Amino acid sequence: MAITSFISTASATSSTASMALFSLLVLILVLSSNCMDLESSHGRQVPRGDVDLLEFPLNLEYFEAELFLYASLGYGLDKVAPNLAMGGPSPVGARAANLGPLLKDIILQFALQEVGHLKAIKKTVKGFPRPLLNLSAASFATVMDKAFGYTLKPPFDPYANDINFLLASYLVPYVGLTGYVGANPKLHGAVSKRLVAGLLGVESGQDAVIRALLYERKAWDVKPYGITVVEFTNRMSEFRNKLGHDGLKDEGLIVPPNLGAEGKIKGNVLAGDKYSVAYDRTPEEILRIVYGSGDESVPGGFYPKGGNGRIARSHLRSA
């Protein structure tokens, strides 16, 4: 009887151990399967499918950070936060802008916000080095000439005064915010969505401030061209729509009433679709615009050697 009891107990123990081992193996397989679809960086887990979409905006965040830092301080990331550049080349042609006290204060705030954006993205994903940026006056002048379809004389200088710099800034945060709107529905992870929502909120705020300051001055002539501020914004928006190759996603400060809010007003301090919802853009549309070429595989403009990251570089390799 004792032997039989011992055998039964041993058998039960062995069965329990086998079941525990099997459960442990199943748990390991499940965890391994889940981890295959995640990338862990700085303690955060992000679905692999989200990584490229989170890294791509760094191209524009570098642009904004350098433009606003140089304009307000006379120097950029290499002095303010050199580690964020990750060894990427210094921007070409950027310099301090001739700004009044109020606008200089606002642009410095924008600049430091962009430094925060770079940190936030790189806290979540690895990121990539700063691409080569051409922020020279000549680069902006080329954009303005193409927007108007003829050469402005003298060449447009974004660093000359408040109005010129606001018009140059009109080119930047809006493109970034449409990119974040476009990326959001493609993201899967909660961390990714929270990051993009937060970045979108501040980028939209920057764009709203720029547009409001320009709207207040919409009837002013931009010297020495004799062209109004509103005409500059309309031409730039039309040019970006043309480069993006995907219809109407950009609007100036004054629009036909049927394009205004509820189809009833021509004032357009904030751009939006027929429901006053922000427009979206894909990474490819953004590259076509910031390259100034209308082609995501042909770099130029503000990015002489193209953007960085897998998305931007994949288009260059396919050229």
pLDDT tens digit at each of 319 positions of the chain? 444 443 344 444 444 444 444 444 433 333 333 333 444 445 468 999 999 999 999 999 999 999 999 999 999 999 999 999 999 999 999 999 999 999 999 999 999 999 999 999 999 999 999 999 999 999 999 999 999 999 999 999 999 999 999 999 998 899 999 999 999 999 999 999 999 999 999 999 999 999 999 999 999 999 999 999 999 999 999 999 999 999 999 999 999 999 999 999 999 999 999 999 999 999 999 999 999 999 999 999 999 999 999 999 999 976 5
pLDDT of residue 43: 42
Q: CB within 8 A of 283, min separation 6: which ones?
A: 53, 56, 179, 182, 296, 311, 312
Give a three-class secondary structure readout of 213-241: HHHHCCCCEECCCCEEHHHHHHHHHHHHH
DSSP characters over 56-116: TTHHHHHHHHHHHHHHHHS--HHHH-HHHHTTPPPPBS-------HHHHHHHHHHHHHHHH
pLDDT of residue 45: 84
- CA end-to-end distance (rounded Å), the chain: 83
Partnered with residue 47 across adjacent β-strands are: 38
pTM of the model: 0.86
Are the CB atoms for 268 and 254 separated by under 8 Å? yes
pLDDT of residue 72: 98
Query: CA 36, CA 40: separation in Å to the nearest integer?
Result: 10
Instruction: Name the DSSP letter for residue 267.
Output: B
The beta-carbon contacts of 205-210 under 8 Å, at least 24 apart in sequence, are 206/110, 206/113, 206/173, 207/173, 207/174, 207/177, 208/269, 208/270, 209/106, 210/166, 210/169, 210/170, 210/173
pLDDT of residue 245: 94
Instruction: Name the DSSP letter for residue 46.
Output: E
pLDDT of residue 44: 64
pLDDT of residue 184: 96
